[in-house]
Amino acid sequence: MIEVKNVSKSFKGQIVLKNINLELEEGKINLVIGRSGSGKTVLLKSLVGLHEVDEGSILFDNRDFVKMGNDQRKEIRKEIGMVFQGSALFDSMTIFENVQFPLKMFSEMSDDEMIERVNFCLNRVEIDGKNDLYPSEISGGMQKRVAIARAIALNPKYLFCDEPNSGLDPRTAIVIDSLIGEITKEFNITTLINTHDMNSVFEIGDKIFFINKGEKWWEGHKEDIWNSDNEELEDFIFASEFAKKMKERLRINP
């Protein structure tokens, strides 16, 4: 289980995260939602140690990540698969080599076992026959899928995704969401997704955390959103006139 306790972070005196407390649901999809610049990415990067927090603790199964040294953190990081906003695939490596990379660095698999595992992960994200292509030779949606395949190569306990469907068309975004949902259930992974895509919230979100101006303003399950009286949350979720009308309609005819 991942618990975030009283985490604060500032950059050059500007507070970005203020006293954040989260408790992620194990084996479920946890979503952190919020406007651009609300602190979602800083929170996610703090969880994996790319930013050092100013205060608070981050517990992975009661192990405090903040207090750990580099070597201990490495052990935790091996349990984490991460999908970056821009995929962050290694552009000097082929698709196959990208997925193989964590196995080569951290597993004791033989070459044959590695080939089998890489092909399994690529098949799982429905990438076939592209092994020898480079990331620049495939579409953005495929890059995201390869990034997911790379993230699950080492059978992680936790999967972190930073806006996994940003820059994708609505149809491909839904495919990526479904894929993350299926993988989470299939491998019993605790997943944390940063997003401001409402489709993700209502399609795959189990637990939702709403971050606003660096603070947690709301948390609950997606069903609770309809009954929430949190104005900021409502303003964020139902931002467009169309969404507001839809909500009214659903209230009248649930």
Partner 1 sequence: MNFFQHLGNYATLMKSTFARPEKGKVYWKLIAEEVEKMGLGSVGIVFFVAFFFGAVIAIQTANNMDNPLLPDMLIGLGTRDSVILEFSSTIMCLILAGKVGSNIASEIGSMKVTQQIDALETMGVNSAGYVIFPKIIAAIFIFPFLSMCYMFVGIFGGWAGVVITGVTNTSHFVYGLHYGFKSYYIPYSLTKTVVFAFIISSVSSYYGYYTELGSKAVGDASTKAVVNSSLIILIFNLILTKLLL
Please, are residues 3 and 23 in contact by the beta-carbon 8 Å criterion? yes
Q: State the minimum distance, in angstroms, from the CB of residue 174 to partner 1.
A: 24
Q: Which is nearer to partner 1, 15 or 48 (CB)?
A: 48
Rounding to the nearest 10 degrees, give the CA dihedral for residues 205, 209, 212, 217: 130
CA atoms of 40 and 51, how far apart (whole Å) = 12
Report helix, strand or coil for 45.
Answer: helix
Q: State the minimum distance, in angstroms, from the CB of residue 212 to partner 1.
A: 24
Q: Which is nearer to partner 1, 85 or 119 (CB)?
A: 85
Please, are residues 8 and 199 in contact by the beta-carbon 8 Å criterion? no
CA atoms of 57 and 52, how far apart (whole Å) = 11
Q: State the minimum distance, in angstroms, from the CB of residue 106 to partner 1.
A: 7
Query: Quick count: other Cβ atoms within 10 Å of Cβ 245?
Result: 11
The residue ranges that bind partner 1 (CB under 8 A) are 45, 48-50, 73-75, 77-78, 80, 82, 84-86, 88-91, 101-102, 104-106
Q: Which is nearer to partner 1, 89 or 127 (CB)?
A: 89
**Element holding 22 (H helix, E strand):** strand 14-23
Q: Which is nearer to partner 1, 11 or 90 (CB)?
A: 90
Q: State the minimum distance, in angstroms, from the CB of residue 130 to partner 1.
A: 19
Q: State the minimum distance, in angstroms, from the CB of residue 94 to partner 1.
A: 14
Q: At what angle do helices 140-152 and 170-186 cross, to 10 degrees?
A: 10
Q: State the minimum distance, in angstroms, from the CB of residue 228 to partner 1.
A: 33
Question: Measured on CA atoms in the order 232, 233, 234, 235, is the torsion positive or negative?
Answer: positive
Q: Which is nearer to partner 1, 86 or 170 (CB)?
A: 86
Amino acid at 205: G
Q: Which is nearer to partner 1, 187 or 238 (CB)?
A: 187
- Label the pairing between strands 158-162 and 14-23: unpaired
Amino acid at 19: N
Q: State the minimum distance, in angstroms, from the CB of residue 194 to partner 1.
A: 14
Q: Which is nearer to partner 1, 34 or 49 (CB)?
A: 49
